[in-house]
Amino acid sequence: MPHSSLAIANVFIGRALDSGGRGLTQMQVQKLVYLGHGWSLAALDEPLIDDAVEAWQFGPVIRNIYSALSRYGNQSVERLIRWGEDTVLIDSDDDGIASEDIPEWEMSIIDIVWEIYGTYPAFKLSALTHQPDTPWSQTYRAGAKRVIPNGLIQAHFKELLAA
């Protein structure tokens, strides 16, 4: 079952903050969530997030994450995303943190993405998504923010998985 991109973003933000206070930039969070989504589509045949991924100038972007974290610019995200402060208010737990129960099999994808890509700087994560024949490169058009179809993302990550 797909999850809010904000809840998945908070898993990565929390891990960064728990690992000695090293923060992630908004761009790093975007790319980590995108990679988790792509690997979930490839390995589990299921989307990790329920939000659309769009092709923006600097790579794949999930608009809800951008809206919640854009105030940080290229600085480190200082805290977890909260419903109502950073986003549209929805029913949530008492502390307002954007979170969801994530099953073990989906957490295993997040774990792998974190282990492989969690220390990559923003420019390296962005470069990964800008390579020729990536879903972003096949979708992006200057001046337009077009949705990258999940089928295109899944096909790309399945090719990577098979390699």
Helices 26-44 & 5-18 angle (0-180, nearest 10): 120
**Range 67-94 average pLDDT:** 77
The reported pLDDT for the residue numbered 84 is: 73
* pTM given for the model: 0.93
The reported pLDDT for the residue numbered 10 is: 97
Quickly count: other Cβ atoms within 10 Å of residue 128's Cβ: 16
Task: Give CA–CA dist 158/49, Å, rounded.
Answer: 17
The reported pLDDT for the residue numbered 120 is: 95
Q: Is the pLDDT of residue 46 over 70?
A: yes
Q: What is the dihedral of CA 42, 127, 11, 50, to 10 degrees?
A: -50
| CA diameter of the chain | 45
Number of domains in the chain: 1
What angle (nearest 5°) sits at the alpha carbon of residue 95, between those of residues 38 and 60? Answer: 20
Distances in whole angstroms, Cα of residue 35 to Cα of each of 96, 125, 142: 26, 9, 23
The reported pLDDT for the residue numbered 83 is: 82
Mean pLDDT value across the chain: 91
Query: How far, rounded to the nearest angstrom, does the alpha carbon of residue 17 sit from its chain's CA centroid?
Result: 16
Determine the structural domain holding residue 64 and report its residue range. Answer: 5-162
Task: Give CA–CA dist 117/111, Å, rounded.
Answer: 10
Q: Is the pLDDT of residue 56 over 50?
A: yes
Using one digit for the tens of pLDDT, what is the confidence trace for 89-122? 444 455 688 899 999 999 999 999 999 999 999 9
Using one digit for the tens of pLDDT, what is the confidence trace for 114-132? 999 999 999 999 999 999 9
